[in-house]
Amino acid sequence: MLITGGTGTLAALTARHLAVTGRARQLLLVSRSGPAAAGAAAVAAGIAEAGAEARVTVADVTDRAAVAGLLAGLPQACPLTGVVHTAGSSTTASSVR
């Protein structure tokens, strides 16, 4: 499962939900900041505790070539099963992690 905006508030909530409910065992969380984003490691750790695996990576989803490269790089053992698109900008500060 690919989650765009993967280091944001909605992505963290969605990823945790998918992991806890067993609806996704492998999650790819994508944002421009990637692993450098505040809270990214904590979100991945929480997903691991729920028995799933989260990989945090860098891509700008407005960049067609970057997205194509991202999809082309998915391991054959982990084919794309779905996309949750949360990438965006909020007008208010995020507080849920």
Ligand X SMILES: NC(=O)c1ccc[n+]([C@@H]2O[C@H](COP(=O)([O-])OP(=O)(O)OC[C@H]3O[C@@H](n4cnc5c(N)ncnc54)[C@H](OP(=O)(O)O)[C@@H]3O)[C@@H](O)[C@H]2O)c1
For the bound state, the minimum distance from the C-beta of residue 69 to ligand X, rounded and expressed in Å, comes to: 13
Residues from 15 through 74 that contact ligand X (CB under 6 A) = 30-33, 37, 60-62
For the bound state, the minimum distance from the C-beta of residue 64 to ligand X, rounded and expressed in Å, comes to: 12
Alpha carbons 69 and 46: distance in angstroms, whole number: 27
Q: Is 62 or 76 the residue whose CB approaches ligand X more closely? A: 62
Phi-psi bin for 58: left (phi > 0), alpha (psi -120 to 50), beta? beta
For tokens 């904590």, the residue is: 42
Contacts within 8 Å (CB) and 24+ apart, 65-74: 70/2, 70/28, 70/30, 74/28
Which residue's Cβ lies closest to ligand X? 8
For the bound state, the minimum distance from the C-beta of residue 68 to ligand X, rounded and expressed in Å, comes to: 14
List interacting residues with ligand X (CB under 6 A).
4-5, 7-11, 30-33, 37, 60-62, 86-90, 94
